[in-house]
Amino acid sequence: MPIRQVALGSHEELRHPGNLKAALAEFICTLIFVFAGQGSGVAYSKLTGDGASTPAGLISASIAHAFGLFVAVSVGANISGGHVNPAVTFGAFVGGNITFFRGLLYVIAQLLGSTVACFLLELSTGLPTGSFGLSGVSVWSALVFEIVMTFGLVYTVYATAIDPKKGDLGTIAPLAIGFIVGANILAGGAFTGASMNPAVAFGPSLVSWDWSCHWVYWLGPIVGGGLAGVIYELLFIGHPTHEPL
C-alpha cells in the first residue's frame, strides 16, 4: 500500500500521558501563535483606524504570522511536532504519520488554544478580535484560495519536517513554514484573510460569535492539507527522487 499506514489507533491514546503532554504543547503553541497573529491585527486597527486588508495591514499581518508561527513550531517541534493547525494534523493523518485519536487530541487542543488567545486579547485590550470573512470574492473562489494556500503550507511541512530524507533541511523547517504562511497572507489576505488553519478562524468566530462563511475556513484547509499529505506520501516518501551527491 503506497500510504505507509493510516491508523485509527486506540481510544486509550486519549488518556496516555505522553499524548496529553503533546496536546498541551499544541494548546500552548497555538495560543502563542494566535495571540501574536490576531493581536497584530487588533493593534494595527487601533493605531491606524484602518482595516487589516490595507497594504500596510497585510504586510504587518504577514510579518506577525510568519514570526509567530516560526516560534510556535520551534517550541513545539520536540514535544508534539509543532502542528499548530488542524489541517497539518489532518495532512499528517492521511499520510499515516499520526493516529486518528492522537490527532483528535491535537485538534481539540488547537481549537482551545485559539479560543483562549482571542478571549485574552479581548479581555486585555477591550477591543474585538474580529473574525475571518470574504472580501470581493465568491465563497467558491474563497474555497479555492484556502485549498491552494493550505496545500502549499502542508506540502512545505512534509518536505521540511516529515520527509525522512529531509536531513539537515529539517533545521530550517520552522522558518520555511513561517515564510510560506507569511507569503500566502500577502497573496490571499485581501480576499479571504488567508486563514489556512481552521483553529485560527475558529477562535475569533467563537469569541465574536460571527460564523459568516465559516465553513470555508474548515473545508478549504482540510481539503488542501489532505491533498498535500496524500500526494507527498504517495509520490515522494520512500521513493528516492535524486541521486546522492
Give yes or no for residue 213 having a pLDDT over 60: yes
Q: In the chain, what are the domain boundaries?
A: 11-235
Question: What is the pLDDT, as a whole number, of residue 52?
Answer: 63
Domain 11-235, CATH class in plain words: mainly alpha
Region of poorest pLDDT, from 139-153, 159-173, 212-226, 230-244: 230-244
DSSP states along the chain: --S-------GGGGG-HHHHHHHHHHHHHHHHHHHHHHHHHHHHHHHHS--TTSHHHHHHHHHHHHHHHHHHHHHHTTTT----SHHHHHHHHHTTSS-HHHHHHHHHHHHHHHHHHHHHHHHHH-S--------SS-HHHHHHHHHHHHHHHHHHHIIIII-TT-GGGGGGHHHHHHHHHHHHHHHHTTTT-----HHHHHHHHHHHT--TTTTHHHHHHHHHHHHHHHHHHHHTTTS--S---
**What percent of the chain is modeled with pLDDT above 90?**
76
- Rounded mean pLDDT, 51-74: 90
Q: What is the pLDDT of residues 1-56, one digit of tens each?
A: 445 568 888 888 888 899 999 999 999 999 999 999 999 999 988 888 766 668 88
User: Mean pLDDT score of the chain, rounded to an integer?
Assistant: 91
